[in-house]
Amino acid sequence: MATTEKVQLNYSSPQYSYLEYLLQLGLKASTVEIVNAFVVSNPHLSVQFDRRCKDILTLNSWVDSSNLVGKNTEENIFKEGFKFSSSESGMKFSVGQIKQSSSKDDHDNIKKILLCKIGVGRAYATTKENLASSELPEGYDSFYIMKDGENLDRKDDENEYYHEYYITESAQILPQYLVYYKYDPAIEKKSREKPICDNCEVAEAKVYCASDSANLCKECDLALHKSKLASRHIRTPIGKGGDIYGFCSQHKDKMIEFFCSQCHIPVCVYCKMVGHHSSGEAAKHKLVSVAEAYQTVCQESSIPDSILESRRTEIINQITLIKSQSKEVDKLNSQLERQIQEIAKKALNELKKITDSKLNILLGDELELRRQLGEIRNAENFLEYQQDGDATHFLFSWSRHQKMLDELHEFKFFRNKIDVSLDTRVSGSIDILSDQVIHIPESDNKKMIKTRTSEKINKSNSYYNKTSLSNKQISSVAIGNTGNAVPSKSQESKHIKTSDFFSEALGALDDINISQDDYDGFDNKDNLFID
């Protein structure tokens, strides 16, 4: 059996630095500091995760250790992975902003959190209320838990990036890092406030005196620099001088003066003379003034990312297509409703089910696209947030942000196809049919099924648990969903043009007469087919 290791992460490693940035992004706080971090290494869990989640969308999810209950202790998770209780079919995970919970185990504001990789794949949208009674349809990898009132017309909150998924297979969850971090909301709030005069400690500081290493208000500045010698002190407006870069973390009384573009860390005079950049390979690194480095980063951050902008445009366009397609589905639904009402009102409930299924598939695609759009917006908003705050944090985080941009540039799992077709139609027996090539994902052995017959009314085989009507009422009623609610892969699916199919459907509906003599679409059993 593979052994599990919990290896401490080196403080100076890029991995440690980026992990801290991810945590700051999740908490939307620049003052978050990782106290200690461990890499969770379990070859068995890694192989299991890679096998199950190959070629599907995976996301980072922070799990508060205080929320781990039952069998899911830290030790058990590291050894065996996450386990679900007998009363639950899965576990909820969040993506995006971290919702903190207070814990009695927190000491000196030091908290513990676990970073996991979760395979969400294509997520089936559902509500919290329906989650317990829902079965994951074939072709889906997880549930997306919708927020209250979430639908195709809902606008996203520009300031919040938070999504919840329900994972039903433990193989889709991989614990990666155990992190101990320090975060005080009061300190974070203070870091965003305007500095107070160091002399009177009342008024807002307006200038920084480098000679006195003090922030001063206008009145104190005039009072303290009246003498001939004191008037020579160089003062700069707050936020315009060396004060914005702060003091060295290694040498608390020394101002940050340089920046190493190779190590992406600040350097003071002592760091260069006797510290980490005084010997070895680091001593050869070229240093630039911190002001110059800050200006360079500001200029780089102001340049639009063409790749990200292109991706954003594609996402928005795809959302527009989904909305348009959902409207067409609704239009077709209305047409079919009128036909069904002429034959039998009892068929309407079944039609609603197929329509909801189509809309839910579209909704699921849009929600993922919204999430990707929100991921971009969240990263950009946080970058602006840091740029408006402490310059040192912004400067230190720029390389981390660039690494995040590299991940966003990959754009591996963008669905640029719509696999919901306007193929619902009416037959003489009021069977709502659906023609669609069904592509089962690779994880299901790449099966491909083509359906063109109606879905039979059978409780044991029907996903929608259909109910038959007697022959005297209308012969039978059935709903064929979009490929048994099994979505096809975006790169494999073939689509019928909405405009072509809809015009054909309308033309067919206009010519319908319930008569075998007038319409050659009837078979010898007086069944009407609309194709």
Q: Are residues 339 and 320 in the same domain?
A: yes
Report the alpha-carbon distance of residue 485 to residue 420 in Å, rounded: 10
**Whether pLDDT at 445 is above 60:** no
User: In the predicted model, what is the mean pLDDT of residues 468-486?
Assistant: 37
Query: What SS3 string covers 59-124?
Result: EEEEEEHHHCCCCCCHHHHHHHCCCCCCCCCCEEEEEECCCCCCCCCCECCEEEEEEEEEECCCEE
User: Of 187, 203, 238, which residue sits at a domain end?
Assistant: 187
pLDDT reading at 93 higher than 90: yes
pLDDT of residue 54: 93
Last residue of a domain, one of 223, 257, 289: 289
Of 153, 187, 221, the position where a domain reaches its end is: 187
CA distance 137 to 504: 31
User: CA-based angle 276:280:284, to the nearest 5?
Assistant: 90
Write out the two tokens for 11.
């403080």
Q: Are residues 220 and 154 located together in one domain of the fold?
A: no
- Are residues 414 and 392 part of one domain? yes
Mean of pLDDT values over 393-403? 87
pLDDT band at 97 (very low <50, low <70, confident <90, very high): very high
Q: What is the pLDDT of residues 419-431, one digit of tens each?
A: 889 988 877 666 7
Residue 42 above 80 pLDDT?
A: yes
Same domain as 181, residue 273: no
Structural domain for 228, as ranges: 193-289
Same domain, 134 and 254: no
In this prediction, residue 104 has a pLDDT band, given cuts at 50, 70 and 90, of: low
pTM over 0.85: no
pLDDT tens string 107-128: 667 899 999 999 999 999 999 8
The answer to whether position 47 is within a domain reads: yes
Q: Which helix (H) or strand (E) holds 527?
A: none
Asked if 264 contacts 231 with a C-beta cutoff of 8 angstroms, the reply is no
The pLDDT, as a whole number, for residue 442 is 47
Same-domain pairing of 178 and 215: no
Does residue 222 or residue 3 have the better pLDDT?
Answer: 222
Phi, psi of 339 (to 5 degrees): -65, -45
Q: Which range among 36-45, 175-184, 189-198 shows the weakest confidence by mean pLDDT?
A: 189-198
Q: Tell me which of 102 and 356 has the higher pLDDT.
A: 356
Position 436 scores a pLDDT of 59
Note whether residue 104 is domain-resident: yes
Question: What does DSSP say about strands 478-479 and 431-433: parallel, antiparallel, or unpaired?
Answer: parallel
Confidence band (pLDDT; 50, 70, 90) for 480?
A: very low
Count up the domains in the chain and report the number: 3
pLDDT of residue 36: 93
pLDDT at 497: 41
Q: Which pLDDT score, from 0 to 100, does residue 102 have?
A: 63
CB 127 within 8 A of CB 157: no
Q: Which range among 148-162, 215-229, 314-328, 397-411 shows the weakest confidence by mean pLDDT? A: 148-162
Distance CA 445, CA 442 (A): 5
Mean of all residue pLDDT scores within the chain: 78
Q: Are 89 and 106 in contact (CB under 8 A)?
A: no
pLDDT over 50 at 462, yes or no: no
The answer on 425 and 410 residing in a single domain is yes
Higher-pLDDT residue of 382, 109:
382
If asked whether residues 65 and 205 sit together in one domain, one would say no
Same-domain check for residues 246 and 162: no
300 lies in some domain: no
In a domain, 304, yes or no: no
The residues, any chain, with a CB within 8 Å of residue 359's CB and separated by 6 or more, are: 152, 326, 329, 330
Q: Which two tokens stand for residue 301?
A: 């951050």
Q: What is the pLDDT of residues 11-28, one digit of tens each?
A: 878 899 899 999 999 999
Identify the pLDDT of residue 244. Answer: 64
- Inside any domain, residue 419: yes
Asked which of 170-179, 180-189, 250-259, 396-405 is least confident by mean pLDDT, the reply is: 250-259
Give me the residue label for tokens 């000491």.
107
The mean pLDDT value for 451-476 works out to 34
Q: Which of 87-96, 141-150, 171-180, 479-488 has the lowest mean pLDDT?
A: 479-488
| Residue 389: inside a domain | yes
Instruction: Read off the pLDDT of residues 185-206 as tens digits, 9 standing for 90 and up.
Output: 888 888 888 888 999 998 988 8
Q: Is 365 part of a structural domain of the chain?
A: yes
Task: Quote the pLDDT of residue 430.
Answer: 64
Q: Cite the DSSP H helix spans in 157-198.
A: 185-191
pLDDT value for 67: 80
Of 284, 209, 274, 286, whose CA–CA distance to 240 is shortest? 209
Give the pLDDT confidence score for residue 45 in this predicted structure: 94
- Shared domain check, 352 and 267: no
- Between 92-101, 312-321, 457-466, the lowest mean confidence (pLDDT) is in 457-466
Give the per-residue pLDDT at 48: 95
CATH number at residue 172: 3.90.228.10
Asked whether the predicted pLDDT for residue 384 surpasses 80, the reply is yes
- Domain check: are 387 and 418 in the same one? yes
Residues 375 and 404 in one domain: yes
296 belongs to a structural domain: no
